[in-house]
C-alpha cells in the first residue's frame, strides 16, 4: 500500500504541469510527507477519502497468553487446512494406485462408494478451515478499528457542469433544427435494428404446417405394439391391466405423442363403462385405449388404479376416470384423455381404426380448430 501520489510530472524537470494541476500534491510536498509517521500517513490518506478512524481496539498484547492462544488457533486452522488438502490429494490420486480402484464396477465396491464422499469431506474441511483460520485471525489478532466514512449525495456542481457540457454538445450538432437528420436517423435506427434481429427469423417455424400438433402416427390398421415391438392379442392381458403401446411405425416407441395406454377393464367396470358421446365403439370388448399423454401438461399419465379405475398424473395430480371416458375428475386437467379407436385385424392382433379424433397432449390456443 502506498500513500504517495507520484504522478508523472510532479517530481520536477522541464515538463511542468499545466495551470489547472492541483490536488494534494501541492499541499503535501514530498518533504512534508517524509516527515510523517506511517500511521499519520494512513490516517491522512483515509481522511482524504472521507474516512475518519474513530477508535482502534488494538489486538491482544504481544506476547500475552491471549495472543499466543489466538496464534495457536489460527495456526492450527491453517495447518489442518493443509492436512485435509493433502488427504484430498491422497484419495484423489491414490485411488487405483496404492488405494483400491475408485471406479464403479458392477454394484460398486466399498471404496468406490467412499471415493466421492471422501473427496467432498476433505475438500470441504480443508476449505472451511482456511475460512475459519482467516476469520479467527480477523477476530482475534487484528486490531478492531471503527471507521466512519462520509456519504456524499450527488454534487450540484457536477450536475450543472455535466449538464452544460451535454447540452452544449447536443446544441452544436444542431439536431434540433436539422429535422431531416433526426428523422432519417430514427428511420435508420429502426431499420438497422430490425435488420440485425432479422436472422433470428430462422428460429420461426410454422406450427400449422402439416399439423404436427393435431396428428400422431396412429392410423387405420396400424398395429398396437409393446415397447419391445411385439403385437398384442386380446387374450394377452388380464382384466385390470395396463400396457403402454406404440404405433407400428419406425421409432414409434420414441414418439412423444404416440404413447397409448391399452387397458383391459375388469368385468364389472365393463358394465359401468360410460364412454364419451359418439365413442362407444372405440373400445374392443373389455379393452379401451387412451392416450398416455396428459391433456394438462403432457406428462405420461400412467398411475393406473385398477380397482377404482382412476388414472393419476404424477406431475400435477390430475385424475381421470377410465370408466367415464377418461374424464378428469380431480386436479387441474380440463379435458378427457383422447380415446384411440381400436379393433383386431385378421391375424388377431390389435390395430388402430384411425388416428385419435382430437389432438393429444396439452391444450393450446387453437387446439379446437385443428
Partner 1 sequence: MSTTNPQSDAPLDDAGTPVGRARARRRSKHRRRLANAAGLMASLLMTGALYSVFAPAQAAVETTSESAAEAAGRELYERSCISCHGENLEGVPNRGPSLIGVGEASVYFQVHTGRMPLVRQEADAPDKPVVFSDEEIDQLMAYVQANGGGPTLPSGDLRDGELAEGGELFRLNCSSCHNFVGEGGALSSGKAAPSLESSTDLEIYTAMLTGPENMPVFGDNQLTPDEKRSIIAYIQTVQGMADPGGAGIGRMGPVAEGLVIWVVGISALMFGIFWMGSKA
Partner 2 sequence: MAATATAPGAPTSRLGKTATEFDDRLIVAGPVRRTLNKVFPDHWSFLLGEIALYCFVILLLSGTYLTFFFDATMNEVVYDGSYDPLRGTEMSGAYASALNLSFDVRGGLFMRQLHHWSALLFVASIVVHLLRIFFTGAFRRPRETNWLLGVVMLVLALLMGVTGYTLPDDLLSGTGLRIISAILLSIPVIGTWAHFAVFNGDFVGTEIIGRFYIAHVLILPAILLALIAAHLLILVKQKHTQFPGPGRTEHNVVGNRLFPTFAAKATGLLFIVFGACAALAGLVQINPVWLWGPYNPAQVSAASQPDWYILFLDGSTRIFPAWDINLPGDYTIPALFWPTVVIAGAMFTLLALYPMIERKLSGDTASHHLLQRPRDVPVRTSLGVMGLTFYFVLAISGGNDVIADKFDISLNAMTWFGRIGVIVLPAIAYVFTYRICLGLQQHDREVLEHGIETGVIRRLPNGEFIEVHQPLGPVDEHGHGQLAYGGAPVPKRMNHVGGSRRAIRGFFSPIEEPSAVELEQRREGRGLSASESDRELTSSGRPSEGGRPSEGGRPQDPRD
Name the residues that contact partner 1, by CB under 8 A.
Answer: 104, 107-108, 110, 112-113, 115-117, 120, 131, 135, 139-140, 144, 227, 233, 235-244, 266-268, 300, 302-310, 312, 314, 317, 319, 330
Q: How far is the CB of 242 from partner 1 (least distance, A)?
A: 5
Binding range to partner 2, per CB under 8 A, among 174-182, 199-207, 264-272, 341-349: 199-207
Contacts of residue 212, Cβ cutoff 8 Å, sequence gap at least 6:
none
15 binds, among partner 1, partner 2, none (CB under 5 to 8 A by kind): none
Q: How many residues bind partner 2 (CB under 8 A)?
A: 115
- Interface with partner 2 (CB under 8 A), residue from 155, 173, 182, 208: 208
Alpha carbon distance 346, 134 (integer Å): 81
Label residues 132-149 b or e (16+ Cβ within 10 Å = b).
bbeebbeebeeeeeeeee
Q: How far is the CB of 351 from partner 2 (least distance, A)?
A: 19
Quote the Cα angle for 206-207-212, to 5°: 130
C-beta of 125 vs 214, nearer to partner 1: 125
Per CB under 8 A, contacts with partner 2 among 303-322 are 303, 312, 314-318
The owner of cell 386436479 is: 331
Enclosing H/E stretch for 327 = strand 327-330
C-beta of 46 vs 114, nearer to partner 1: 114
213 binds, among partner 1, partner 2, none (CB under 5 to 8 A by kind): partner 2
- Interface with partner 2 (CB under 8 A), residue from 20, 196, 203, 271: 203
Q: How far is the CB of 235 from partner 1 (least distance, A)?
A: 6
Q: List residues bridging with 262 in a β-sheet.
A: 243, 289
Contacts of residue 26, Cβ cutoff 8 Å, sequence gap at least 6:
none
DSSP output for 208-261: TTT-TTT--S--TTPBEE-TTS-B--TTSS-TTEEEEEEESSTTGGG-TTT-EE
Q: How far is CA 120 from CA 84, 90, 97, 115, in A?
A: 11, 13, 20, 9
| 12: helix, strand or coil | coil
C-beta of 180 vs 196, nearer to partner 2: 196
Residue 145 interacting with partner 2 (CB under 8 A): yes
Q: How far is CA 282 from CA 163, 189, 193, 322, in A?
A: 77, 60, 55, 13
240 binds, among partner 2, partner 1, none (CB under 5 to 8 A by kind): partner 1
C-beta of 35 vs 235, nearer to partner 1: 235
Contact string 250-269 vs partner 2 (x = CB under 8 A): ---xxxxx-x----------
Strand ranges across the sheet with 260-264: 224-225, 241-247, 260-264, 287-291
349 binds, among partner 1, partner 2, none (CB under 5 to 8 A by kind): none
- Interface with partner 2 (CB under 8 A), residue from 75, 82, 131, 221: 131
Binding range to partner 2, per CB under 8 A, among 40-48, 162-170, 171-179, 267-275: 40-48
C-beta of 2 vs 172, nearer to partner 2: 2
Contact string 325-364 vs partner 2 (x = CB under 8 A): ---x-xxxxxx-------------------------xxxx
Alpha carbon distance 261, 342 (integer Å): 12
Amino acid at each position: 500500500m502506498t500513500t504517495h501520489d507520484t504522478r508523472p510530472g510532479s517530481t520536477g524537470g522541464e515538463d511542468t504541469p499545466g495551470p489547472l494541476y492541483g490536488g494534494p500534491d501541492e499541499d503535501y510536498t514530498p518533504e512534508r510527507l517524509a516527515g510523517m509517521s506511517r500511521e499519520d500517513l494512513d490516517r491522512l490518506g483515509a481522511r482524504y477519502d472521507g474516512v475518519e478512524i474513530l477508535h482502534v481496539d488494538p489486538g491482544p498484547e504481544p506476547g500475552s497468553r491471549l495472543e499466543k492462544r489466538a496464534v495457536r488457533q489460527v495456526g492450527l486452522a491453517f495447518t489442518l487446512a493443509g492436512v485435509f488438502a493433502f488427504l484430498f490429494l491422497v484419495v484423489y490420486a491414490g485411488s487405483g494406485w496404492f488405494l483400491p480402484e475408485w471406479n464403479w464396477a458392477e454394484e460398486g465396491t466399498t471404496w468406490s462408494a467412499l471415493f466421492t464422499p471422501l473427496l467432498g469431506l476433505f475438500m470441504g474441511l480443508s476449505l472451511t478451515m482456511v475460512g475459519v483460520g482467516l476469520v479467527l485471525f480477523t477476530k482475534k489478532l487484528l486490531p478492531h478499528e471503527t471507521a466512519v466514512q462520509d456519504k456524499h449525495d450527488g454534487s450540484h456542481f457536477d450536475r450543472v457542469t455535466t449538464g452544460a457540457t451535454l447540452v452544449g454538445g447536443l446544441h452544436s450538432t444542431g439536431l434540433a433544427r436539422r429535422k431531416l437528420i433526426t428523422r432519417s436517423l430514427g428511420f435508420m435506427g429502426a431499420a438497422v435494428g430490425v435488420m440485425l434481429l432479422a436472422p433470428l427469423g430462422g428460429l420461426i417455424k410454422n406450427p400449422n404446417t402439416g399439423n404436427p400438433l393435431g396428428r400422431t402416427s396412429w392410423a387405420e390398421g396400424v398395429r398396437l405394439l409393446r415397447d419391445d415391438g411385439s403385437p398384442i392379442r386380446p387374450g394377452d392381458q388380464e382384466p385390470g391391466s395396463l400396457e403402454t403401446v406404440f404405433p407400428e411405425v419406425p421409432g414409434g416407441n420414441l414418439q412423444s405423442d404416440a404413447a397409448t395406454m391399452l387397458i383391459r377393464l375388469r368385468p364389472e367396470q365393463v358394465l359401468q363403462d360410460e364412454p364419451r358421446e359418439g365413442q362407444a365403439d372405440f373400445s374392443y370388448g373389455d379393452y379401451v385405449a387412451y392416450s398416455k399423454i396428459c391433456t394438462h401438461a403432457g406428462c405420461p399419465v400412467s398411475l393406473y388404479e385398477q380397482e377404482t379405475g382412476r388414472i393419476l398424473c404424477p406431475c400435477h395430480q390430475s385424475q381421470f376416470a377410465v370408466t367415464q371416458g377418461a374424464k378428469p375428475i380431480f386436479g387441474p386437467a380440463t379435458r378427457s384423455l383422447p380415446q384411440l379407436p381400436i379393433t383386431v385385424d385378421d391375424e388377431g392382433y390389435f390395430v388402430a381404426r384411425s388416428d385419435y379424433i382430437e389432438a393429444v397432449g396439452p391444450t393450446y390456443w387453437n387446439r379446437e380448430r385443428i
